[in-house]
């Protein structure tokens, strides 16, 4: 093992790379990881020296608090490569701010900004060859933090671990999806943790989603917990509705996650002369719009798929189909624009791209 010390970060390089064994044509999302991982422990009230190590299993006490109380938060972001081998992140400071918001809500210590960015850029340089050029290819980055205290008292812990692991990715969702509008289950509630990327939010979605899948739907559109009459999110994505030529998406709240894709799409719609309203939207409004033919599109928005068009939805035992999407659909147009910005193929009006400089 060779050791390189930067200002603070300790790097232990992998002896051999697994890259040659990976079939990039046939990648299952999130199952293959690059050669290195980043980690940093919080003990005695302080973040310790950050480290990069070969990707490997780790040991933990069975009593570690994360296993019992789900004190864990995460992020999802991507690195992209253009045809000149330059590597870019998309609005990474948004992910940094958001994981610290999630940490604060889960009573976990915030992670220092310089550690986050030094760790991320060093990791991306070490695993640079894992990022393939071409629109649709990316390296999915998963920062996360967990409570590691070996103590099963139901109280916030004193020791934590912050990590980043990386998985090469192709387009996540394939084709369109059918969704079931939630009439019973909820994803989040007022005063809860819906706005945070808290691990437990996702565990709680698996069961209602599996019920929807048994009925032939891939995802659930979540409605407000009180009345189940307002549309909030689609699976683990924000959701947009197009009625006539206007896009509508719900305002963020403590129930709705402040998605980077969502806010970028709102801006891109504006830049491209597409009307976009941020307001609450009732299920009855889209049912009505579907009946009278003014409902043109519904799509999910998130880092993994950028935009995931929805083919139809079920509500109160009635399935309603949406018009077929084409190259002029807002979902196609906006997705293309986002991908071009992410892959350095279009002008970046809002400074969203962040180039990862090659390490000297």
Ligand X SMILES: *Cc1c(COP(=O)(O)O)cnc(C)c1O
Residues contributing to the site for ligand X (CB under 6 A): 76, 197, 233, 236-238, 257, 259-262, 302-303
The residue among 13 and 228 lying less far from ligand X, judged by its C-beta, is 228
Choose among 323, 283, 313, 303: nearest CA to 218.
Answer: 313
Residue closer to ligand X (CB basis): 52 or 237: 237
Of 64 and 237, CB closest to ligand X: 237
Between 168 and 235, whose beta carbon lies closer to ligand X?
A: 235
Rounded to a whole number of angstroms, the minimum distance from the CB of residue 80 to ligand X is 14
| Long-range Cβ pairs for the range 53-62 (8 Å, 24+) | 53/12, 54/12, 54/13, 54/14, 54/15, 55/14, 55/165, 60/148, 61/148, 61/150
| Min CB(200)–ligand X separation in Å | 12
**Residues 296-307: b if buried by 16+ CB within 10 A, e if exposed:** bbbbbbbbbbbb
289 or 301: whose CB is closer to ligand X?
A: 301
Would you say 260 or 276 has its CB closer to ligand X?
260
Q: Give per-residue burial for 130-143: e unless 16+ CB within 10 Å, then b.
A: bbbeeeebbbbbbb
Would you call 125 helix, strand, or coil by DSSP?
A: helix
Closest separation in Å from C-beta 237 to ligand X: 5
Closest CB 212 distance from ligand X, rounded Å: 16
Helices (H), the chain: 65-69, 92-105, 113-126, 199-214, 260-271, 283-291, 330-342
């Amino acid at each position: 093992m060779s050791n390189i010390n930067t200002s603070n970060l300790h790097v232990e390089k992998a002896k051999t790379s697994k890259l040659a064994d990976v079939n990039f044509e046939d990648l299952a999302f999130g199952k293959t990881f690059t050669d290195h991982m980043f980690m940093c422990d919080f003990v005695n009230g302080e973040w310790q020296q950050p480290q990069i190590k070969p990707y490997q299993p780790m040991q933990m006490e069975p009593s570690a608090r994360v296993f019992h109380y789900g004190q864990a938060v995460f992020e999802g972001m991507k690195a992209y490569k253009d045809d000149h081998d330059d590597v870019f992140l998309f609005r990474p400071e948004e992910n940094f701010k958001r994981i610290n918001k999630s940490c604060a809500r889960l009573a976990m210590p915030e992670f220092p900004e310089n550690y986050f960015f030094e760790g991320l850029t060093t990791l991306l340089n070490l695993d640079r060859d894992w990022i393939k050029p071409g629109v649709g290819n990316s390296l999915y980055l998963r920062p996360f933090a967990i409570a590691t205290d070996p103590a099963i008292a139901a109280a916030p812990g004193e020791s934590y671990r912050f990590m980043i692991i990386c998985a090469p990715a192709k387009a996540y969702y394939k084709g369109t999806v059918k969704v079931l509008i939630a009439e019973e289950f909820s994803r989040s509630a007022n005063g809860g943790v819906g706005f945070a990327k808290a691990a437990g939010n996702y565990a709680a979605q698996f069961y209602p989603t599996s019920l929807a899948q048994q009925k032939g739907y891939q995802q659930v559109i979540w409605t407000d917990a009180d009345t189940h009459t307002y549309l909030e999110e689609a699976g683990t994505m924000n959701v947009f509705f197009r009625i006539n030529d206007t896009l509508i998406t719900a305002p963020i709240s403590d129930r709705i996650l402040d998605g980077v894709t969502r806010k970028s799409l709102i801006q891109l719609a504006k830049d491209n002369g597409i009307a976009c309203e941020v307001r609450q939207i009732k299920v009855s409004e889209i049912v009505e719009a579907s009946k009278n033919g003014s409902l043109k599109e519904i799509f999910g928005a998130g880092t993994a798929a950028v935009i995931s068009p929805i083919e139809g939805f079920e509500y109160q035992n009635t399935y309603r189909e949406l018009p077929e999407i084409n190259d002029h659909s807002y979902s196609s147009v906006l997705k293309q624009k986002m991908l071009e910005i992410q892959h350095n193929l279009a002008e970046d009006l809002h400074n969203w791209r962040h180039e990862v400089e090659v390490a000297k």
